[in-house]
Chains A and B, each alone.
Chain A
């Protein structure tokens, strides 16, 4: 739940009463309440979607009814191909996240300990961070050729710079006294990284991973939509591209729904469980 967002704006008896009641709620209960409300809104959205398509407010050729899209999604997953394509994409993004964060961590350590490397690293990060990987396509194609490798590079590019910037900021925010204490106790650089810098900046790392995930997932899907299926399944992005090419709108929305659901599960499941402080 966002702090500040629900801050006291106008104080009336009603608000005070509610305030008392809610402060009495446990953290778990409030989280459950949040989940419940989210689920309610999700159902309302689906109902709204179904209604506007069933009653002709929206042309079903543009947006098919929610139930047929859901049905198609289940069929696609049971039938296997979509499931495999989804697994390929999720596998790639997790691998990219792992590698991207590792590279980001390495660069952040380098920048932390070697002042000489800082200008070049920060120059590179500020040049590359805002650049969409797709814009680098000609270069990436020359290096990696057409295929999964190129897709992976586009995604890695999306993850690595934000991860470096985030981790660097996390390291800089570590209380220098803690570092001094560790150094005085004879900690070498590796111990300093392992026992001070990384653990202290862990809350920041959660945010870094979360940003890396969303940037990487987006980049991966756009790259897959451009590169297509070669000697492999092509991933969920290719599924979207193919469905659109075959003018199969129901399939297209089933794919979009799967992309969204993956995001929701990662956000509400994985990250909220691993890094609860970040919510």
Chain B
């Protein structure tokens, strides 16, 4: 076997040079140029009944209109919609400057703040039933669920997880009693698993899946989100990074557009259902019943923050008590 220690030049060419090249590329890619002079908002696009005002805002062009109204300098207005799966992805997209505004539950938002994310809540979006369903008729109490049963929910740290922990603390004196029984599943997968009745006994979910499960024979709710929480709470809130919430023009335009979309939903049930039905895979009639007949409320008020903070500090999900001024932008 022949060995050659690389000479000084070859050492540079083979070892140092590629590393330098990578460093240079990394630095260059970090300097993404600003999007010209256009006034832009990038919004995380998410689907579900509870996100209805966002889709109306998009379909009707309310956000573009609101920004155009406020923009006196004649800058062109652009709105981007970016599809993202969950709050972890939202966090990463915000850090990468891909999105300005997104919607999520209060608990994951709080976890982010606790971990140093500079985002804040700029608005509420919706309240809706977030309930725990079981497929075993003999199960009637939370205590009966302890042990072997598997509980599906979107992911650890989600609003469903925190509501379950709240109920567990109240009824069973131990917030984390179910943590070893959790299975992380997306809503549709969780529903499939619950209906098939094989591995999953319980599913903590949100509309429309909670409605579909509610309407299925043999499946009954074991716990309602609101009774776990003890008070009404926002299911979704809008969160934004500093660059956005400190920019009064864009922030106010966004809030206006959202109010307008919520008003539109209240006033035009037929058109709302028609606009949204396809993306939910439901008929316009079903969409209308779900949106208007089953306790989904759209409102910009943020509810339940303090209760979530109290609980999450007490049980160690948060390392410190977050003050309200760290959670919402200063009103100017």
Contact of A22 with B117 in the complex, beta carbons under 8 Å? no
Known A-B contacts A6-B6, A59-B95; A245 and B1 likewise in contact (beta carbons under 8 Å) = no
Known A-B contacts A61-B95, A245-B156; A145 and B3 likewise in contact (beta carbons under 8 Å) = no
A55 within 8 A of B: no
Q: Which residues of A contact B199 (CB under 8 A)?
A: 141, 145-147
Tell me which of A21, A23, A62 contacts B95 (CB under 8 A). A62
Contact of B4 with A19 in the complex, beta carbons under 8 Å? yes
Q: Which residues of A contact B23 (CB under 8 A)?
A: 48
Q: Which residues of B contact A30 (CB under 8 A)?
A: 3
Tell me which of A25, A58, A247 contacts B108 (CB under 8 A). A247
Q: B-facing mask of A241-268, CB < 8 A → 1, else 0?
A: 1101111110000000000000000000
Contact of B4 with A247 in the complex, beta carbons under 8 Å? no
A185 within 8 A of B: no
Mark the stretch among B177-185, B254-262, B278-286, B324-332 that contacts chain A.
B177-185
The secondary-structure label for the interface of chain B is: loop
A57 within 8 A of B: yes
Q: Which residues of B contact A249 (CB under 8 A)?
A: 115
Q: Which residues of A contact B95 (CB under 8 A)?
A: 59, 61-62
A135 within 8 A of B: no
B37 within 8 A of A: no
Q: Quick one: which of B98-116 are within 8 Å of A by CB? A: 108, 111-112, 115-116
Q: A-facing mask of B189-203, CB < 8 A → 1, else 0?
A: 000010000111000
Known A-B contacts A15-B7, A241-B184, A245-B155; A3 and B87 likewise in contact (beta carbons under 8 Å) = no
Mark the stretch among A101-109, A152-160, A224-232 that contacts chain B.
A224-232
Contact of B115 with A146 in the complex, beta carbons under 8 Å? no
Q: Which residues of B contact A8 (CB under 8 A)?
A: 4
Contact of A247 with B87 in the complex, beta carbons under 8 Å? yes
Contact of A61 with B117 in the complex, beta carbons under 8 Å? yes
Chain A: number of interface residues, binned into ranges = 35 or more
Contact of A247 with B184 in the complex, beta carbons under 8 Å? no
Q: Quick one: which of B26-42 are within 8 Å of A by CB? A: 27, 30
Shortest C-beta distance, B29 to chain A (Å), equals: 12
Tell me which of B2, B157, B183 contacts A19 (CB under 8 A). B2
Q: Which residues of B contact A61 (CB under 8 A)?
A: 95, 115-117
Tell me which of B3, B5, B88 contacts A247 (CB under 8 A). B88
Q: Quick one: which of A71-120 are within 8 Å of B by CB? A: none
Q: Which residues of A contact B180 (CB under 8 A)?
A: 229-231
Contact of B4 with A22 in the complex, beta carbons under 8 Å? yes
A177 within 8 A of B: no
A184 within 8 A of B: no
Closest to B113 in A: A247
Q: How far is the CA of A235 from the CA of B117 in the complex (A)?
A: 28
Tell me which of B5, B88, B156 contacts A22 (CB under 8 A). B5
B91 within 8 A of A: yes
Q: Which residues of A contact B5 (CB under 8 A)?
A: 18, 21-22
23 A–B contacts, CB within 8 A, in A order = A6-B2, A6-B3, A12-B7, A18-B7, A19-B2, A21-B5, A23-B2, A58-B30, A59-B95, A60-B116, A62-B92, A145-B198, A146-B150, A146-B193, A227-B183, A228-B183, A229-B179, A230-B183, A246-B111, A246-B156, A247-B108, A247-B111, A248-B115
Chain A residues packing against B (C-beta within 8 Å) = 1, 3, 6-8, 12, 14-15, 18-19, 21-23, 25, 27, 30, 48, 57-62, 141, 145-147, 227-231, 241-242, 244-249
7 shortest A-B CB distances, which residue pairs? Answer: A22-B3, A146-B199, A245-B155, A228-B184, A145-B199, A247-B115, A6-B4
